[in-house]
Amino acid sequence: MAERPPHRRPAPRKHSWLRPANGRTNAPPTPPAASREDPPGGAEGSVVHAAVYRDGHRVATPDSLADTYRRLREQPDGMAWIGLHRPTEPELLSLADEFDLHQLAVEDALEAHQRPKLERYGDTLFVVLRAARYLDAPEEVDFGELHLFVGPDFVITVRHGAAPDLSAVRRRMEATPELLALGPEAVLYAILDAVVDGYAPVVAGVQNDIDEIETEVFGGDPAVSRRIYELAREMVEFQRATRPLVGMLHGLMAGFAKYGTDDELQRYLRDVADHVTHTSERVDGFRSALADILAVNATLVTQQQNAEMRALAEAGFEQNEEIKKISSWAAILFAPTLVGTIYGMNFETMPELHWAAGYPFAILLMAVVCTSLYVIFKKRDWL
């Protein structure tokens, strides 16, 4: 950050990029001088909190952006800290006019869905952060997006999502005025620290989920594959949120000497960089672990399917063996039934009915046929 110049805030400016080629502005019409203090676009529902500080102490709590501008102009060496949640386009254009924010940064803040990055536009830093929080009930990670404009005498936070809780950061900074007196860089450090600290519960929650998934995998839970896939997708998002921070913080640390960063802030930022590096390494480890677990789960599922198919094949083989036995005995018993049926028709012209050896012959015929069939089936291992 450049050294803070004396506070000489000019009148609100209109940037050329706000006006198309035909000279007609896309922003709301400029109100007359008598009403310049009115909030742009009416009520400012997206302004969560605004305050003006001097020497680390709050000196004003404006209730609108216009009032914030006026109070800041009245405070030599003052600093404005403005917090917004999903601001409207007129509000961001008003801030761009007052603090000379770059067109590209304002467009990014309006559109959201940006990757974490750090851009410097003159003496203003534009920082995009991805905050995260762990939701216990659904066991999932919720990501939020935070945009910061950090200038010589102002900090503007634009929040898209529920995380992080910047009110806690503001209370912490106001409780340590000696730190807040270091200016916008100190606020940037505190917000970076809060975002990085917010990753710790997420890391703990994900580690617990992975432990549970490992138990479910070896327990044969059929629904675990879906859980692995969903958690792996969250880790991709988590990795996208944490990995760029390493380079961003190293970039800030590289500019310590150039921009005359306070020694105490240098130590704080190095500590944040260490935590970010540790978190990024843990997230990389989670992705690798989930990939290994998914491979193991696929192997176990394949083994289970093979075991089930083997069991089905064995059951089918046993069933075939039983059918063979039943069919063999049915064929053996069918032979005497056939002979008895023929001799039971009681026709008078049947020669065997009046033959003295007819009965022994019929019994012998039944025995020979049954024995022959038994021997044949036995040789074929049907019995």
Q: Tell me what the pLDDT averaged over the chain comes to.
A: 81
**pLDDT category, 17, cuts 50, 70, 90?**
very low
Cβ within 8 Å of residue 278, ≥6 positions away? none
Whole-number pLDDT of residue 375: 86
At 19-43, the pLDDT tens digits run 333 333 333 333 333 333 333 333 3
Whole-number pLDDT of residue 6: 39
Nearest to 142 by CA among 215, 73, 205, 48: 205
Chain CA centroid to CA 142, Å? 7
Residue 119 DSSP SS3: strand
- Helix (DSSP H) and strand (DSSP E) numbers for the chain: 11, 7
How far, in Å, CA of 34 to CA of 109, rounded? Answer: 30
At 39-71, the pLDDT tens digits run 333 334 578 889 999 999 999 999 889 999 999
Q: DSSP assignment, residue 42?
A: S
Q: What percent of the chain clears pLDDT 70, i.e. is strictly above it?
A: 85
Whole-number pLDDT of residue 33: 32
How far, in Å, CA of 140 to CA of 235, rounded? Answer: 10
* Helix-strand-coil split of the chain, %, nearest 5: 60, 15, 25
How far, in Å, CA of 372 to CA of 216, rounded? Answer: 59
Instruction: Reply yes or no on whether the pLDDT at 174 is more than 90.
Output: yes
Residue with the bigger pLDDT between 203 and 330: it is 203
Q: From start to end of the chain, where are the E strands?
A: 47-54, 57-60, 79-85, 117-121, 124-135, 140-150, 154-160
Asked whether 234 and 285 are in contact (CB, 8 A), the reply is no
Query: The tokens of 284 are what?
Result: 């990389």
At 253-263, the pLDDT tens digits run 887 777 777 88
Whole-number pLDDT of residue 352: 67
Asked whether 146 and 191 are in contact (CB, 8 A), the reply is yes
How far, in Å, CA of 149 to CA of 156, rounded? Answer: 5
Instruction: Reply yes or no on whether the pLDDT at 82 is more than 90.
Output: yes
Whole-number pLDDT of residue 21: 34
CATH of domain 1-182: 3.30.460.20
Residue with the bigger pLDDT between 299 and 220: it is 299
User: Domain extents for the chain?
Assistant: 1-182, 320-379
